[in-house]
Amino acid sequence: VDRVAETLTAEAARQLDEADPLRAFRARFRLPEGVVYLDGNSLGPLPRATPARLLDVAEREWGESLIAGWTAHRWIEAPARVGALIAPLVGACADELIVADSTSINLAKLVLAALALRPGRRVVLAEAGDFPTDRYMVEGLASLGLCVLRTVPREAVAEALDGETALLLLSHVHYRRSARHDMAALTAAAHAAGALTLWDVSHSAGAIEVNLAGAGADFATGCGYKYLNGGPGAPAFLFAARHHHDAIRQPLSGWMGHAAPFAFEDGYRPAPGMARFLAGTPPVLGLAALEEGVRLVAEAGIAALEAKSRLLSQALIACVEAAGAGHGLVLASPREPGARGSHVAFAHPHAHAICQALIAGGVIGDFRAPDVLRFGLAPAFLSFEDVRCAAATLARILDTRSWDRPAFHARKAVT
């Protein structure tokens, strides 16, 4: 514990928290007592406004207006409205982003849209070891003969771009190591090879700055339940650069993506703009919860969030390295903040047991096989005191090897 205090005293943490321009946002989340929640990169916590919003949508909007709710309460506009709220967080214009389906389904839509824009090219280039669903979806499309999935190691991505490549598909921030790609450079490289880009920004959106327009990105998708705080299984979003809109063919063409859904026409005519990426009826409850979650990060502003994320993660790395000194804990993420997302990974041979001991001690991070501990630094609600407390708990666990004893069941974090 002393090792941590030498790095960050309780008083220093208090001063950092007092100087935090986002400190007021913490109270707008419901965070359980005695818990340090370092897994907001996996599932964001509950915004305090969300239960009341869900009640209002259910009791007043659905309960009283019934079918008329689609217009009376603008449910029909929710995919575009919540999309417009997300847009500035990822450097997109309001009309370039819409909320629909899941990240997986959106990946399929965007891969198919990209392939149609690059006739004669069939390769979707992806990174080995990237988040699995991205490659699983492309594998599925490849099994239909619609494309070829080519997977290369991270460092070989740029050089693997060639005249066969229709699409470069990458996670902006790696789900495990948190390494951040240079979106602008890789997009430029893809374009130079005549390919398009599709960025999965699930591990970026709402925590670090993403500049889809600035990078010239063609397509992107991301998840609503991580840093956007939309709740478990929240709807996802998708982005297409405006200059592609008119040419996009989106073959998962459901009625909500039709130019006139309620005309019940025999043939499909795509809606203008991003609306053609809608398929089925929008999930109104999920959209309402997502709207509340996004509102918090939108209000905080992405520049302030990234600035705080950098400070928090630097503090965490310093404190955890102090706690782990001599215990074989190794930083598995880039050290430089600009090369990282908002979570930090450490490797340890007993990472799983340590993660369980941390959870028992009130510090919730997560484990990724075989040996990675992930700590998410969601800047909208975490404090420097959280970071200090988590590291102090970790130090105690490592010093006492308490992760090695099944009887370890302390319920509260060290303070």
Catalytic positions are 131, 200, 225-226, 374
Q: Are 360 and 410 in contact (CB under 8 A)?
A: yes
Q: Of 290-349, which residues contact a second copy (CB under 8 A)?
A: none
Of 19, 27, 58, 185, the one binding a second copy (CB under 8 A) is 58
Going by C-alpha positions, the residue among 42, 373, 375 that lies closest to residue 228 is: 42
Q: Are 43 and 232 in contact (CB under 8 A)?
A: yes
- Give the shortest CB-192-to-a second copy separation in angstroms: 28
CA 185 to chain centroid: 21
Q: Of 197-216, which residues contact a second copy (CB under 8 A)?
A: none
Q: Are 387 and 308 in contact (CB under 8 A)?
A: no
3-state helix, strand, coil in the chain (%, to 5): 50, 15, 35
- Give the shortest CB-237-to-a second copy separation in angstroms: 12
Encoded one letter per residue, x for contact with a second copy by CB under 8 A and - for no contact, window 347-366 reads ------------x----x-x
Cα Dmax for the chain: 72
Query: Tokens 């950092």 belong to which residue?
Result: 16
Of 163, 214, 251, 328, the one binding a second copy (CB under 8 A) is 251
Q: Where are the beta strands (DSSP E) in 271-389?
A: 330-331, 343-347, 363-364, 366-368, 372-376
Is residue 281 near a second copy by the rule CB under 8 A?
Answer: yes
Of 265, 338, 339, 349, the one binding a second copy (CB under 8 A) is 265
> What are the φ/ψ torsions at residue 293 (nearest 5 degrees)?
-65, -45
- Give the shortest CB-25-to-a second copy separation in angstroms: 16
- Give the shortest CB-404-to-a second copy separation in angstroms: 22
Of 7, 16, 36, 50, the one binding a second copy (CB under 8 A) is 50
Going by C-alpha positions, the residue among 414, 381, 398, 399 that lies closest to residue 24 is: 381
Going by C-alpha positions, the residue among 40, 127, 82, 22 that lies closest to residue 292 is: 82
Q: Where are the beta strands (DSSP E) in 63-218?
A: 97-99, 123-127, 148-152, 165-171, 196-200
Q: Of 146-175, which residues contact a second copy (CB under 8 A)?
A: 146, 151
Q: Near a second copy by CB under 8 A, which window of 12-20, 51-59, 163-171, 185-193?
A: 51-59
Number of amino acids touching a second copy (CB under 8 A): 86
- Give the shortest CB-61-to-a second copy separation in angstroms: 8
Of 7, 45, 186, 403, the one binding a second copy (CB under 8 A) is 45
Is residue 223 near a second copy by the rule CB under 8 A?
Answer: yes
Query: Tokens 């009887």 belong to which residue?
Result: 407
Q: Of 73-132, which residues contact a second copy (CB under 8 A)?
A: 75, 101-105, 108, 112, 128-129, 131-132
Residue nearer to a second copy on the CB measure, 11 or 266: 266
Query: Tokens 């004669």 belong to which residue?
Result: 120
Query: Which token pair is 109?
Result: 């839509």
Q: Are 153 and 127 in contact (CB under 8 A)?
A: yes
Is residue 225 near a second copy by the rule CB under 8 A?
Answer: yes
Is residue 34 near a second copy by the rule CB under 8 A?
Answer: no
Q: Of 373-412, which residues contact a second copy (CB under 8 A)?
A: none
Of 88, 216, 233, 273, the one binding a second copy (CB under 8 A) is 233
Q: Are 226 and 202 in contact (CB under 8 A)?
A: yes
Of 2, 19, 32, 74, the one binding a second copy (CB under 8 A) is 32
Of 7, 25, 37, 308, the one binding a second copy (CB under 8 A) is 37
Distance separating alpha carbons of residues 147 and 140, to the nearest angstrom: 9
Is residue 289 near a second copy by the rule CB under 8 A?
Answer: yes
